[in-house]
Amino acid sequence: ALRLSINARERRRMHDLNDALDELRAVIPYAHSPSVRKLSKIATLLLAKNYILMQAQALEEMRRLVAYLNQGQALSAPLPATLNPFAQSAVYPFGGGAVPGCPEKCTAFPGAASALCKHCGDKP
C-alpha cells in the first residue's frame, strides 16, 4: 500500500513537471513552429534560460538608449550601433550558439540543430 502511494505521488509529480515544461515551450520563441519537433526537457530549459538572458540584455540596452536620448543629444549625432539596422555584425538572440547565416537565428544545441531549425539542417 505504501509503495502504491509513493508511485502515485511520483506519477503526479512527473505529470505536473511535464505540464509545466509544455507551458514553457508554448511561450519560447522558435520552440513551437511547425518545423521544430518537440524540444527535450534540457533543450527547453536551456532555450528558456538563453531567452531570459537575451531579454534582460535587451532591457538594459533600451535603458541605455533612453538615457542617451534623455541627455538631449542632437538628432544629427551618430546613431548608436544598436539602432542601425544595417550594422555589419548580426546579433543573434540566443547567444554564442547561434548558427551564422541562419535566418531563424536559432540556438545550435549539440546534436540537435536540425531539431531546432529547419534552415540549419545537419550543420554543427
Q: pLDDT tens across 29-56, in order?
A: 876 777 778 899 999 999 999 999 999 9
Percent with pLDDT over 70 in the chain? 56
| Closest by CA position to 36, among listed 97, 94, 115 | 115
State pTM to two decimals. 0.54
Q: Given phi > 0 = left and psi -120 to 50 = alpha, else beta, which region is 62?
A: alpha
Q: What is the pLDDT of residues 85-100, one digit of tens each?
A: 444 444 444 444 444 4
**pLDDT, greater one: 75 or 16:** 16
